[in-house]
Amino acid sequence: MNILIFLGPAGSGKGTQAQYLKEQFQFAHLSTGDLLRAEVASNSALGQKVKSVIQSGDLVSDDIIIEIIKDRVSSLIKNGDFNGIVFDGFPRTLQQAKSFDHMLTSLNLQLNKAIYFDLTLDESIRRISGRQIDSRNNHVYHKISNPAPADVQPHLVSRNDDEPEKVKHRYMVYQNETEPLISHYDSKLVRIDCMKSIDHIHHTFDDLVQSFQVSA
């Protein structure tokens, strides 16, 4: 089982590339942001607890996140028919990373690569200000650089934590809490230059997945 984690600020293309791995290589896509938003949308007890934290751009507590991940990973492994799991937006703190290391060891799994999506604050704001999401399946579009087809347009929504001030705050949280993971994953790290085209980055993933299959 291949395990990838995606580290990177808002707008760096983590969701787009995770979707690519899902469609091309049958990876499961596990986005903690999507899971949390689904809890908020269903107004569950957990959703009510985390709603204001998500809206503020701060991080949900490590305990909650680790519990969600444990739940999801065990049900994925039980039911799964896929080549690997992409963890999109998890781990985001050193505490989460350490718990995740233990979890993988206890499941007899190994991290293949930690993918570091490198993007500046200005570019993060520029991209997020045009971001639109298909509410049915969380596909991500951009008003200018990746417009949604006409039949998808009626289903597009924007996230309320995507306002420029909140994106700035999320970027700062990312720098403080998540960037330290770059050295934690040093030997497994692959840096992606997010200024390259989406297709170029797809090819990087083609090569990467190919190298897993060859060494498997």
Sites for ligand AMP among residues 31-50 (CB under 6 A): 32-33, 36
Site string for ligand AMP, 160-179 (x = CB under 6 A): -x--------x---------
User: Does 182 engage in binding with ligand AMP (CB under 6 A)?
Assistant: no
User: Does 10 engage in binding with ligand AMP (CB under 6 A)?
Assistant: yes
User: Does 115 engage in binding with ligand AMP (CB under 6 A)?
Assistant: no
* Three-state SS letters, the chain: CEEEEEECCCCCCHHHHHHHHHHHHCEEEEEHHHHHHHHHHCCCHHHHHHHHHHHHCCCCCHHHHHHHHHHHHHHHHHHCCCCEEEEECCCCCHHHHHHHHHHHHHCCCCCCEEEEEECCHHHHHHHHCCEEEECCCCCEEECCCECCCCCCHHHEECCCCCCHHHHHHHHHHHHHHHCCHHHHCHHHEEEEECCCCHHHHHHHHHHHHHHHHHHC
Rank residues 25 and 161 by Cβ distance to ligand AMP and give the closer one.
Answer: 161
Sites for ligand AMP among residues 45-74 (CB under 6 A): 53-54, 57-60, 65
Q: How far is the CB of 170 from ligand AMP (least distance, A)?
A: 5
User: Does 181 engage in binding with ligand AMP (CB under 6 A)?
Assistant: no
